[in-house]
Amino acid sequence: MKKVFFTITVFFFMTAMVQAQKFAYVDTQYILDNIPEFAEAQAQLDELSNQWQKEIEAKFAEVDKMYKDYQAQSVLLPEDMKKKKEQEIVDKEKEAKNLQRQRFGKDGDLFKKRQELVKPIQEKVYNAIQEIATNNNYAVIFDKGGSLNMMYANPKYDVSDDVLDKLGASLGGRKGKSSKTESGGGTEPKPAAKGDRK
């Protein structure tokens, strides 16, 4: 009898603990899409990426031309000149591949530029989320836009717009559907929504 009573007590205690915890989620992709600095950073990265891609393509086109010229001339060339031309082609191709790795490889120029432009924005978003979590006593804030698979999320727990408010993003021109409008009650006042979150 004591064991059953203890189990029931523990069960009710655990249930009360879980109910006392407050949870929320954000959609970081939605947040980033609505931060002008992120769009500017993305445009800069795209421009650099295109510029570097053209530079690399030009290098490989040069290698291709050298090879075609070599093929056309190889019949007339002495053996030592053939070897010299072949080595020049190999060196030029290596140079092109090294440039490709330098620009787009792991820890390459594009990665470093992305870190330089995007990391400060991500830190601002993280700090805003942390502040909202602290101010509203959320135990956990999940990221709907991240690797966490959320099969269902009640829109009243979405604090993405609160994060955007904290970051000073304008209400009028927000891209994408706000979770509050997805729920069908797009005009739900914010204070009421916050009061519902438990």
Task: Give CA–CA dist 157/97, Å, rounded.
Answer: 49
Tell me the β-bridge partners of 23: 140
The structural domains of the chain, with segments of one domain joined by +, span: 22-196
Cβ contact 145:29 at 8 Å = yes
pLDDT level of residue 153 (50, 70, 90 thresholds)? low
Residues sharing a CB contact under 8 Å with residue 19, sequence separation 6 or more, in sequence order: 198
Task: Give CA–CA dist 141/134, Å, rounded.
Answer: 11
pLDDT level of residue 19 (50, 70, 90 thresholds)? low
Task: Give CA–CA dist 104/83, Å, rounded.
Answer: 31
Pick the closest to residue 156 from 128, 187, 183, 126 (CA basis): 183
Tell me the β-bridge partners of 141: 24
Exposed / middle / buried, residue 179 (Cβ in 10 Å: 0-12, 13-18, 19+): buried
Report DSSP state, residue 172.
Answer: T
pLDDT digits 0-9 by tens, 173-187: 667 654 444 433 333
Q: What pLDDT does residue 149 have? A: 54
Q: What pLDDT does residue 79 have? A: 92
Residues sharing a CB contact under 8 Å with residue 119, sequence separation 6 or more, in sequence order: none
Please report, rounded to a whole number, the percentage of residues in the chain having pLDDT higher than 70.
71
pTM, two decimals, is: 0.64
